[in-house]
Amino acid sequence: MLINKLPEIYRIRLTMPFKLNHINCYAIKGINGWGIIDTGLNTSYNKVTWQMFMKEHRIIKGEVRGIFITHHHRDHFGLAGWLQQITGAPVYVSPEEVDSINCTIQNSGQYVKAVAETYKKHGAPPDLVALLSAEISQMIEYNDCLPKVSFVENGDIVRLGQDNFKVLLTPGHSDGHISFYNEQQGILFTGDHLLPEIVTSICLWPGAHPDPLNDYLNSLQVIKDLYCPILLPAHGNLFTNMTERIEQLKNHHTKMLNAIIKFAGEGISVYEMCNRIFGQRVSLSRIRFALLEILACSMFLVYRGKLGVNEVDGISTFFQT
* pLDDT the model gives residue 137: 86
Model pLDDT, residue 312: 87
Q: Which pLDDT value is given to residue 301?
A: 98
CB 3 within 8 A of CB 12: no
Instruction: List alpha helices for 234-269, DSSP H.
Output: 242-264
Crossing angle, helix 270-278 and helix 242-264, to 10 degrees? 120
Q: What pLDDT, on the 0 to 100 scale, is given for residue 233?
A: 98
Mean pLDDT for each 10-residue chunk of the chain (321 residues)? 81 93 96 96 96 96 97 95 97 94 82 95 96 87 86 97 96 98 97 97 96 98 95 97 97 97 94 90 86 98 97 94 94
d(CA 32, CA 226): 28
Q: Which of 313, 259, 245 is nearest to 290 (CA)?
A: 259
Closest CA relative to residue 11, chosen from 192, 198, 228, 189: 189
Against a cut of 0.85, is the pTM above it? yes
Strands 307-312 and 315-320: antiparallel
Domain-wise residue ranges, the chain: 2-242
Question: What is the model's pLDDT at position 140?
Answer: 75
- Of 124, 126, 122, 128, the residue nearest 317 (C-alpha): 122
Pairing of strands 163-169, 157-160: antiparallel
The residue type of 31 is I
Q: How many CA atoms lie within 13 A of 126 on its CB side?
A: 0
- Residue 144 is predicted with a pLDDT of 75
Q: In this structure, what are the phi and psi dihedrals at residue 295, rounded to the nearest 5 degrees?
A: -65, -45
Fold of 2-242: Metallo-beta-lactamase; Chain A (3.60.15)
With beta carbons less than 8 A apart as the criterion, state whether 234 and 191 touch.
yes
> DSSP E strands: which ranges in 192-258?
230-233
pLDDT score of 75: 95
